Structure formats: structure tokens, C-alpha cells
Structure 1
Amino acid sequence: MGRKKLERFKQNEANPIVVQPGKPVFETVKGNWNKIQFEKDLPLVVELACGRGEFTVGLAREYPRNNFIGVDIKGSRIWKGSTIASESGLTNVAFLRTQIELLSDAFEEGEISEIWITFPDPRPKDRDEKRRLTSPKFLEMFKKLLVKRGVIHLKTDNTGLYEYTQMVLCARQDVKVLKDTSDFYRSPWKDDHHGIMTRYEKMFMEKGESIKYLQFMFT
């Protein structure tokens, strides 16, 4: 392991806005995010597979009346967003280092207000369907963790994942689609995200890919 990565891991251990295994808060934060991690009791908004945290930090700046949590398993990625958030003095941001499959170990049922799924691995192979973050397995978990009428957002460049998600949502009786576009930046909602882009979004846009966006809730 490189010296730079080791240094970043050390900084994560010292940074109070990073919640990860080995820290006492990791064992007690479930159901208590607003009580022991944040300064104010505000709605929790969670970004899954947050990578470097650009979107989590950007949303936190725009919406100070929400608390934002970026989730990723890669500590070196989380380091970037957590460092920016700390240096910016943002008190409504935290980062959770864990696998998304274990999200229920970190949140109580009905604790999350919104979930963002931003440019996830599309898992195009049929054998990997259950690993797609919009598969029925994950949607059932998200439904339990969300507050009543909580909202899920999906942003992706991948047409296959977008169309797969449409199909999964259409097959359910407990879902209401609120927004749906195959070209977000030509849609009526293009200003809703305040120009905040992840590294991957910028990369796909430069390649000429259209950005797909779905917003839905469980009824």
C-alpha cells in the first residue's frame, strides 16, 4: 500500500466526520445519527457509492437544513470529500465507510429521508443483477430505511441500468415515479441539482453521453 494512501487512512481515523469500523461511533450511530454525529436534528439524506463525495458536499452547501451522509467502501475516496467538508466548515456532512449491502446495520428503519444513487456500477451482466443498486433486493432494503414517502434519486449515464430500473419500478405496485428523463440537462429539472456534478458525470458528459435521471417514492 502506498504512503499517500496510508496517510489518507490515518487522516480518516482522526477526522470526526468519517464514521468507519474501529471507531466507537460506528457501533452506536444506528438510529442516532442526528443525536451523536450531527449538531442539529435534520432530515437525513444519503448518497450511495459517493466516491470522492463531490455530490454529497455540493448538496450540503446548497441545503443547510438537511444532514448529508456519503457512503462508500473505499477509504481513499472518502478522504477527499471529508477533507473538503472539514476545511469548508460544513457541519451537516458525514461520510460512512461501509458496504451498501450492510446499510441496514448503520441505519434504523425509517431513519433516512432521501437516497441518492449517483453513477453506480451498472453491473451489466445478467448474473450480477442482484448487485445492481436498483434491483428488487436493494429496493426492499431502501424501502424499510426510508421515512414514509421518502424519495430515491437515480442519476446514471448507462442506458441499460436506466431501462432496467424503469422496468423494475413499473412491475411494482408500491412505487410512484415523480420524475423521469433520458436527458437530464435538456429536461425541466436541469437546474434542480444546482450544477453539482460528480467526477464520473463530468467524464461521461465530455464523452457526449446523456445523463438519465429517475426520482421515485414508495407509496
Structure 2
Amino acid sequence: MGSKNKLKRFKENETFKNVIQPTREEIQKGFSLKGRWREHFKNDHPIVLELGCGKGEYTVGLARKNKDKNFIGIDIKGARFWRGAKTALEENLPNVAFLRTQIELVDLLFGENEVSEIWITFPDPQIKYKRTKHRMTNKEFLSKYKKILNPAGTVNLKTDSEFMHGYTLGLLHGLGLEVIYANHDVYKNEGSPKEVLEIQTFYENQYLEKGKPITYVKFKVN
């Protein structure tokens, strides 16, 4: 994507009512929407997050199918989620928002028990050992998710990385956390939830064209 195109998208994001772009300093000092997201959506519906949302395909796809829930896509790359934000406005989906910030600040963005569900779709597996701290299902991230999820809350990991799938399952078992469902090839094995099969991201389509299996884990952190 050219720099001019990125700048155009950044400027458009500033005009979108469904895009929120706080500074890191604003978040660390006390984010105004923490614990008050239902005021933003003007309802008491459950809040669902997509972390590292990319183009926002899952955020928008889930919102289309679940009008009784609010969906927030979080990513630092605003030029990327511009597409999802624009689509949500074009389709008049009031239950969608996009938040431009770093994922590691997630526990400063939401209050205790404020979130009902988290989706992590095709994250960078950070295979090198020195990158362990950046894996979005490591112990530190799991503890952040625990702070914001309600007691019945769940986390969904959908990835093409067998390493990420295995690493996450091993960590969950080691911590004694409940694995609700796990599948190492969702399109070949029966029983996968509809939202796993019916919504596909841009990158997922590329992986499927290459014949890569798509894995999925649904688990709890409380």
C-alpha cells in the first residue's frame, strides 16, 4: 500500500464515528471508555473483541450475524482496519467499533468483567523463543484477558500455525485451564462452530489456497 493511500485512510478514519484512536498516554492515564463501553454503544449487549483484527473481517462478519452483541476490533494498523470500519458504516452496523492501539494495553481499555468473548484470528505465531513475550496466548496475555473477561467468558484462537495451536494447548493444559473445543483442521473434521467455518479472513483464504490446515481452540481463562 502506497504512503498516499495510507494517509488518505488515516484521514478517513478520523471522520469515522466507529473508530476510536486514543494515545498511549491517554490510555495509561485512565482511558475514558474503560468500564463504560455500553455507554458508547448505547445498550447493555455483550461485548466481543477481535484482537489484531487486521482488515476487520471477523469483527464485521460476527456483527452481521449477531445484532444482539457489540463487536470491537483492535489493531495498531489503522490503514488496515479502515476497510472493516468503512464496511460497517456502509452496512449501517451500529454494533461495530474499531480501536487503534497496541494489544498489550487491552487490560487498560476494558473494565473487570466487561468483555464476554475474545477472538484472536491468525496472529503472528512469534516462533523464535526470544519472541515468546509477543505471543498473544502467552501467560502474560492470558492474565490480561482474565482481568477483563466475565466469569463465563471465552477466548477463541483461529490460526494456520500448528506451532501456535500446539503451544497454546500445551500452556492451557499446564495452567489447568478449561479447553472447551480444539480442532487441528476445522474444514476436514466435523463439529466446528459455524462462526469458525462461515467467516474467512483475507489471509485465511490465501492459506486455504495453499492447502494449509486451519486450526481452532476455544478456551476459558477463569
| TM-score, length basis structure 1 | 0.94
The one of 172, 181, 186 equivalent to 1:179 is 181
Q: Distance in 1 between matches of 2:51 and 2:211?
A: 25
**Pairs aligned (count):** 215
Q: Distance in 2 between matches of 1:63 and 1:118?
A: 18
1:3 alignment partner in structure 2 = 4
Q: Distance in 2 between matches of 1:110 and 1:129?
A: 27
2:145/2:221 contact within 8 Å kept: no
The one of 87, 92, 97 equivalent to 1:94 is 97
Aligned 1:145-164 pairs, distance under 5 A: 145-164=148-167
Aligned 1:33-182 pairs, distance under 5 A: 33-35=37-39, 37-173=40-176, 175-182=177-184
| Structure 2: 5+ residue stretches without partners | none
- Computed over aligned residues only, the root mean square deviation of the Cα atoms, in angstroms, reads 1.5
Structure 1 residue 12, shift from structure 2 partner: 0.6
2:62/2:195 contact within 8 Å kept: no
Q: Which amino acid aligns with 1:2?
A: S
Q: Distance in 1 between matches of 2:104 and 2:205?
A: 27
Deviations 1:58-111 (CA, angstroms, capped at 9, x unpaired): 000001110000000001012110000001000000001000011122111211
Q: Which amino acid aligns with 1:21?
A: P
1:71/1:97 contact within 8 Å kept: yes
1:39/1:91 contact within 8 Å kept: no
1:196 alignment partner in structure 2 = 199
Q: Which amino acid aligns with 2:38?
A: N
Task: Rate the CA distance shift 1:53–1:105 in 2: closer, same or farther, 3 A.
Answer: same
Give the 4+ runs in structure 1 shifted more than 2 A. 190-194
2:32 alignment partner in structure 1 = 28
Q: Distance in 2 between matches of 1:189 and 1:21?
A: 36
Deviations 1:40-75 (CA, angstroms, capped at 9, x unpaired): 221000000000001110000001110000000001
Deviations 1:116-171 (CA, angstroms, capped at 9, x unpaired): 00000000000111110010110011011100120000000001111100110010
Q: Distance in 1 between matches of 2:213 and 2:193?
A: 12
- Give the SS at the match of 1:185: coil
2:153/2:220 contact within 8 Å kept: yes
Structure 1 residue 218, shift from structure 2 partner: 2.8
Q: Distance in 2 between matches of 1:155 and 1:193?
A: 8
- Give the SS at the match of 2:179: strand
Deviations 1:24-48 (CA, angstroms, capped at 9, x unpaired): x97411111111x213221000000
- Give the SS at the match of 1:218: coil
Task: Rate the CA distance shift 1:169–1:146 in 2: closer, same or farther, 3 A.
Answer: same
Q: Distance in 1 between matches of 2:212 and 2:197?
A: 19
Aligned 1:12-23 pairs, distance under 5 A: 12-21=13-22
- Give the SS at the match of 2:130: helix
Q: Which amino acid aligns with 1:144?
A: K
The one of 184, 203, 210 equivalent to 1:207 is 210
2:116/2:154 contact within 8 Å kept: yes
Q: Distance in 1 between matches of 2:213 and 2:108?
A: 35
